[in-house]
Amino acid sequence: MKNTFGNSVSVTIFGESHGDMIGVVIDGLAPGITVDDDFIKEQLDKRRPKGKISTSRCEADEYKIVSGVFNGKTCGTSVCIMIPNTNTKSKDYEATRMLMRPSHADYTASCKYHGYEDYRGGGHFSGRITAALVAGGAIAIDILRKKNIYIGTHIKKLYDIEDRDFNDYKADIDKVNSMYYGILDDNIKDAMLKKAEEIADEGDSIGGVLETVICGMPEGVGEPYFDSVESILSHALFSVPAIKGIEFGKGFDICNYKGSQVNDEFYMDEGKVKTRTNNNGGINGGITNGMPVLFRCAVKPTPSIYKEQNTVDISKMEDAKLLINGRHDPAIVHRARVVVDSVTALAICDLLVTRYGTDYLL
């Protein structure tokens, strides 16, 4: 199993949902970068389950940095962060271990790892592992903020309820980053939560769309083809559990217009080249053009639901029925928001170091 992403700044994740520890190793960070423990804790709190629309499994996430940081600064060596798992109930998975949960990785994991995979709580395929990404991503987000590069994600859509678009980018980024749920339109927050709670009461789940913006990216970052900004970001984002689609700028909707309607025309603004619109999401030819990088991610409904489903029993190789137990999220889009920010920041750090060198992030 390959668990590493990145070229110049690389990230390796490890651990299982019900194992002793999960963690992340970051290579390629320059020495002398400040590591803010309070900010890491703040980011982990945004991922932590809260309320009726989240799982009842709530981990303390009392992480420990075991290498690569000394006196609050990076040393230039591998930064390793470890997070204990302290609130597991593995027995919830014993009775149904041979019943393949629909839309989970149970079957594919069994095929790939010949039955030796850790099945408890989804093992290494669990969203629990994203806590490690958030801890590592917090360092990357903080690095970028000091370079005046800001990342923000809001819940653009939850089931059939839509939030407004980003408008004043920097102000909107500040707003969503100060919130747990990350909704721009204050008037729809209650409706979104009510919808999620209604679905939870049915024993079902819902998905949504996350919209992300990156402000302050310099022009000229990225490569034309295989390491385009879209390629690198998509590679990282599709590693987040439940992400099933990504679109940049106007995305698939751009096909409904003529070129004359969606071409981003250039103009000069106080000696700086800008575009009047941003339908291409701040990227041309795989390379940043200085405008905000904008993309959306489709988050599928949580596959763990409290309804009887059809499946197979792989120990008997026959059809079966499944009714799951355990603790599960009726919706994960609100918790996935900070994970998307985190992997985005790690990918952007990789792109920037590839373009400008290791010391650029100092």
| Cα–Cα distance measured from residue 6 to residue 346, given in angstroms and rounded to the nearest whole number | 8
For 241, phi then psi, to 5°, come to -55, 140
The ranges assigned to domains in the chain are 4-361
Q: Structure pTM?
A: 0.94
| Cα–Cα distance measured from residue 160 to residue 87, given in angstroms and rounded to the nearest whole number | 33
| Cα–Cα distance measured from residue 157 to residue 139, given in angstroms and rounded to the nearest whole number | 28
Beta carbons within 8 Å of 61's beta carbon, 6+ residues apart: 44, 48, 83, 131, 135
| Cα–Cα distance measured from residue 218 to residue 176, given in angstroms and rounded to the nearest whole number | 23
Q: What is the pLDDT of residues 263-320, one digit of tens each?
A: 999 999 999 999 999 999 999 999 999 999 999 999 999 888 888 999 999 999 999 9
Asked if CATH classification 3.60.150.10 holds for the domain at 4-361, the reply, yes or no, is yes
pLDDT given for residue 262 in this prediction: 97
The string of DSSP codes covering 79-111 is EEEEEE-----GGGGTTTTTBPPTTSSHHHHHH
Average pLDDT, the chain: 93
Q: What is the pLDDT of residues 205-236, one digit of tens each?
A: 999 999 999 999 999 999 999 999 999 999 99
